[in-house]
Structure 1
């Protein structure tokens, strides 16, 4: 079987690397060897999701950043600290959530004498190639609400026409990412990526908007 991405050809696809009938731990181990698109060549390692395997809320970001790439865990840099604080203020226990990214490898360009690694947004092809991993994470965890953190996550979950400025803070139906026809009762709420808070001139206002959107997530959870 030809495995997309290994030969640098047109076939970007992680599906040949995704094991059937795997649990979350086995899925994480398999993802460490994924060559489904060329991003694995420059990244330090695959950064798989982490958190509560029975989480009611799954948060999906864009891709790992420089700190996450080096440590092998999602959202452990400055944006992760912003997100943790915002979740707590919104009434969502971070320890009862699961967090991952639409793309599991760090995409970057190197700049300057020290060759500082600068984030570069993944392409639609790279997002599509990595979607089988995200689809399996969501299938195994079966959350009530999925949070799209930023435009890339929103497009991966809701389609290429998604716009975070237009659809943020609104519960939307989430179709299965694996192409299954059966509808689900999972909803998706989009908001900004927490890194947008760090880049903003008016951090307080942007952060308040993030917390407001996450309160919609808290309200969308079914009563236990």
Structure 2
């Protein structure tokens, strides 16, 4: 992964860090957000927060994040975090061209981790991941309709999540309960993986 990437000049000029993925590289679960937050840009860790982010607290409820670790570099178990883009612009979301420029990094992470479940966070991640890994039209994938609902994909199952930072407590609870049921089931698909 290129720490000195200059593919997107407007993002490169405003970033502090290139924010590549972070977490358990043998994870069954891969969380994909749209772009790094201000704290993630400062620390270089996706979804990082000065305090534990809403996402970290949700993952902790599932036993996937250790809330006794440093919030800037949380200990994650069986989960890997990443974004569609590696850099943050402070005043706007990434453009389609900027997301396209980062696509090889995301593809490499997905191939490296080889997760069982992809967790797109928010509408933009859902649309792009849904288009790439399901046979459904991106127009049919509305985050408000499929939040916390498993979607069979090509090689991966998707479990979309509303953005935890803006979601209601009920929406966060709904996702945690749905995901706990998935974790308790036989969610592993046959993809040539060796059992751990």
In the superposition, the TM-score normalised over structure 1's length comes to 0.67
Segments of 5+ residues of structure 1 without an aligned counterpart are: 1-26, 110-119, 176-183, 198-202
Q: Deviations over 1:88-130 (max 9, x none)?
A: 3245454221111111101222xxxxxxxxxx32222222221
1:42 aligns with 2:14: yes
CA distance in 2, matches of 1:148, 1:79: 22
Match of 2:142 in 1: 163
Which has the larger displacement, 35-44 or 66-75?
A: 35-44
2:177 to 203, 208, 212: 212
1:124 to 96, 101, 124: 96
CA shift, 1:220, in A, is 6.2
CA distance in 2, matches of 1:79, 1:138: 27
Conserved 8 A contact 1:191-1:210 = yes
Conserved 8 A contact 1:80-1:194 = no
Match of 1:57 in 2: 29
CA distance in 2, matches of 1:191, 1:164: 7
Match of 1:193 in 2: 163
In structure 2, relative to structure 1, the CA distance for the partners of 1:128 and 1:167 (3 Å cut) is: farther
Match of 1:99 in 2: 81
Number of residue equivalences? 171
Segments of 5+ residues of structure 2 without an aligned counterpart are: 66-75, 132-137, 190-194
CA distance in 2, matches of 1:105, 1:139: 21
SS class of match (1:190): coil
Aligned-pair Cα RMSD in Å = 2.4
In the superposition, the TM-score normalised over structure 2's length comes to 0.76
1:72 aligns with 2:51: no
Conserved 8 A contact 2:33-2:122 = yes
Match of 2:134 in 1: none
CA distance in 1, matches of 2:160, 2:186: 13
1:33 aligns with 2:4: yes
In structure 2, relative to structure 1, the CA distance for the partners of 1:135 and 1:173 (3 Å cut) is: farther
Larger radius of gyration: 1
The runs of at least 4 consecutive aligned structure 1 residues that moved more than 4 Å come to: none
SS class of match (1:60): strand
